[in-house]
């Protein structure tokens, strides 16, 4: 069965989901925020929230990961109408890649212009410390090397072109804005900028894989975000993304360190307030345009 004709993520089903949400919220959000592991506090900052459980939204997948609440929250942030995903979907949960990126297309059909994504990631760059926040300037889509791309299958022209450009995947104006806001807030000592590499998961990386990924030019490694960005850019939305460096990737065979999900969530708690401040200040200053 071809992806675009498969149940759950055709254009008509994305349109039906968008219309269902619009009919129940009376909001037309300009900004969508995707919260990664342990970073759902951004959704708590929305004023006058209208909350939906993923299980109640037509065609939506379910979030199965601890630390991902599985709720879609509408509200206002700094006076701007926003929608926030508390929890996202991953390849390792067993969903087709077109299904895990469905929310991006739904957001486009609801009127969203800018998508802000957050994730927890392992630090490959040896200059990074646990608790650093990396502004993503580019990504490496490793599953894409094996043909696992959310745009595989017949192209839906109503969303975008067959061969979308990805050299501008992460909006450079928003990257500059993040640096400016971070400097004003006194965050420069832990704010970084680098390349994110996505793997399929759910197992963490081997030492050899970490060494290889770092040599390829990656500064941080995770299991999300890049696929969502590909679909969001295909739809013409601007993208900005942050990685919270929640653990240092093990690069040395003599090391006794081990990556674990609990460490990811704990680091999220420690840095969450500052990340929320960075994002909310950016939202306040954003000018919305589609490109």
Catalytic annotation, residues: 37, 68, 90, 92-93, 120, 223-224, 247, 261
Contact 133, 239 (CB under 8 A): no
Among 43, 41, 211, which residue's Cα sits nearest to residue 122? 211
- CA distances, 161 to each of 9, 112, 171, 236 (Å): 17, 19, 19, 10
Judge residue 255's burial from the number of C-beta atoms within 10 Å of its C-beta, 0-12 exposed, 13-18 middle, 19 or more buried. exposed
In angstroms, the CA 36 to CA 20 distance is 25
Give the count of beta carbons closer than 10 Å to the beta carbon of residue 280.
18
Residues with Cβ within 8 Å of 184's Cβ and at least 6 positions away in sequence, in order, are 281
Contact 247, 123 (CB under 8 A): yes
- CA distances, 41 to each of 85, 196, 269, 275, 277 (Å): 11, 23, 9, 9, 11
In angstroms, the CA 45 to CA 260 distance is 28
In angstroms, the CA 93 to CA 184 distance is 39
Contact 125, 250 (CB under 8 A): no
């Amino acid at each position: 069965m071809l992806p675009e004709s498969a149940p759950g993520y055709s254009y008509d089903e994305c349109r039906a989901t968008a219309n269902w949400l619009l009919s129940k919220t009376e909001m037309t959000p300009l900004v969508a925020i995707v919260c990664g592991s342990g970073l759902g506090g951004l959704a708590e900052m929305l004023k006058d929230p209208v909350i939906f459980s993923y299980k109640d939204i037509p065609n939506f997948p379910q979030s199965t990961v601890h630390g991902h609440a599985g709720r879609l929250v509408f509200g206002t942030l700094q006076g701007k109408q926003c929608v926030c995903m508390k929890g996202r979907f991953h390849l390792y949960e067993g969903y087709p890649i077109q299904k895990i990126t469905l929310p991006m297309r739904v957001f486009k059909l609801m009127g969203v212009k800018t998508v802000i994504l957050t994730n927890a990631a392992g630090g490959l760059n040896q200059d990074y410390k646990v608790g650093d926040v990396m502004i993503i300037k580019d990504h490496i889509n490793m599953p894409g090397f094996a043909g696992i791309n959310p745009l595989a299958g017949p192209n839906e022209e109503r969303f975008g072109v067959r061969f979308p450009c990805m050299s501008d995947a992460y909006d450079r104006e928003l990257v500059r804005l993040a640096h400016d806001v971070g400097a004003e807030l006194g965050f420069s000592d832990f704010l970084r900028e680098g390349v994110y590499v996505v793997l399929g998961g759910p197992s963490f990386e081997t030492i050899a894989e970490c060494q290889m990924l770092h040599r390829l030019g990656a500064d941080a490694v995770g299991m999300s975000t890049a696929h969502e960005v590909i679909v969001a850019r295909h739809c013409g939305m601007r993208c900005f993304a942050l990685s919270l460096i929640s653990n240092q990737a093990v690069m040395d065979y003599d090391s006794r360190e081990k990556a674990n999900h609990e460490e990811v969530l704990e680091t999220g708690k420690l840095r969450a307030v500052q990340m929320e401040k960075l994002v909310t200040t950016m939202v306040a200053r954003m000018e919305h345009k589609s490109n």
